[in-house]
């Protein structure tokens, strides 16, 4: 009886069956530190947002825009009934409910985190969402209808160049970009890393 080795073409094709291979690069049992990182980042973002809003409302609301950093930004206080960057201005109550849902999803996902990058990204989103949600719940004209305090206008007052925003909007945007970037790089929230295998040369 004779045995034959599989042809090279078959061996090459078998190496191409899976284009990605998951491998955990985060240590097990690190969820406690990652929870602290996530909620710590969220707390810093929330505190900065609240403090800056209190300060600008107390000292700048009703006054002409204030130029800072040589005109890179203008402090121009506006009340925004819509989403980040003044979108969906007629759906304040829906945006408040959406923010509550986002906070709930992040809190539910938090114990499953095994990626420091995801912890930072979701922490930024959480802090920003809580900051603007606080405005919608506690500011005029009423609960779920409150207008968000925006005050950062880029390059020109009144949002002439870019919509007026606040610290919470910045946190949400930066956190979202970080999460999308990590996803594109194949890094999941649970620490799994997906790597594409190089296809075997069939020449």
Residue range 28-39: average pLDDT? 84
Choose, from 49, 76, 135, 150, the residue flagged as catalytic: 150
The pLDDT confidence band at residue 126, using thresholds 50, 70 and 90, is: very high
Instruction: Let me know if 169 is a catalytic residue.
Output: yes
Q: Within 10 Å of residue 16's Cβ, how many Cβ atoms?
A: 12
Residue 1 has pLDDT above 70, yes or no: no
Q: Within 10 Å of residue 119's Cβ, how many Cβ atoms?
A: 25
Could you give the C-alpha distances from 149 to 2, 34, 81, 166, 171, in angstroms and in order?
81, 31, 9, 7, 15
Distance CA 132, CA 26 (A): 32
Residue range 128-132: average pLDDT? 96
Choose, from 169, 188, 190, 201, the residue flagged as catalytic: 169
pTM (global) more than 0.85 = no
Q: Name, of 3-12, 17-26, 102-111, the range with top average pLDDT.
A: 102-111
pLDDT in tens, 134-157: 999 999 998 888 999 999 999 999
Distance CA 45, CA 38 (A): 11
Tokens at residue 158, please? 């009144």
pLDDT in tens, 80-122: 886 655 555 556 778 888 999 999 999 999 999 999 999 999 9
Residue range 9-16: average pLDDT? 44
pLDDT in tens, 46-78: 999 999 999 999 999 999 999 999 999 999 999
The helix (H) or strand (E) run that includes residue 20 is strand 20-24
What pLDDT score does 116 carry? 96
């Amino acid at each position: 009886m004779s045995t034959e080795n599989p042809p090279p073409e078959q061996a090459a094709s078998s190496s191409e069956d899976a284009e990605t291979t998951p491998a955990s690069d985060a240590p097990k049992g690190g969820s406690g530190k990652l929870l602290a990182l996530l909620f710590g980042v969220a707390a810093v973002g929330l505190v900065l947002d609240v403090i800056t809003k209190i300060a600008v409302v107390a000292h700048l609301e009703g006054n002409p825009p204030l130029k800072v950093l040589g005109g890179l930004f203008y402090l121009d206080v506006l009340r925004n009934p819509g989403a980040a960057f003044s979108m969906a201005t007629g759906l304040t109550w829906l945006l408040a409910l959406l923010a509550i849902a986002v906070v709930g999803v992040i809190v539910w996902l938090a114990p499953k985190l095994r990626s420091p990058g995801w912890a930072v990204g979701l922490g930024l989103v959480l802090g920003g969402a809580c900051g603007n949600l606080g405005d919608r719940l506690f500011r005029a004209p009423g609960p779920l209808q409150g207008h968000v305090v925006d005050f950062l206008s880029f390059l020109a007052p009144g949002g002439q160049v870019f919509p007026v925003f606040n610290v919470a909007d910045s946190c949400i945007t930066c956190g979202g970009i970080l999460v999308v970037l990590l996803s594109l790089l194949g890094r999941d929230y649970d620490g799994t890393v997906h790597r594409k295998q190089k296809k075997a040369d069939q020449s």
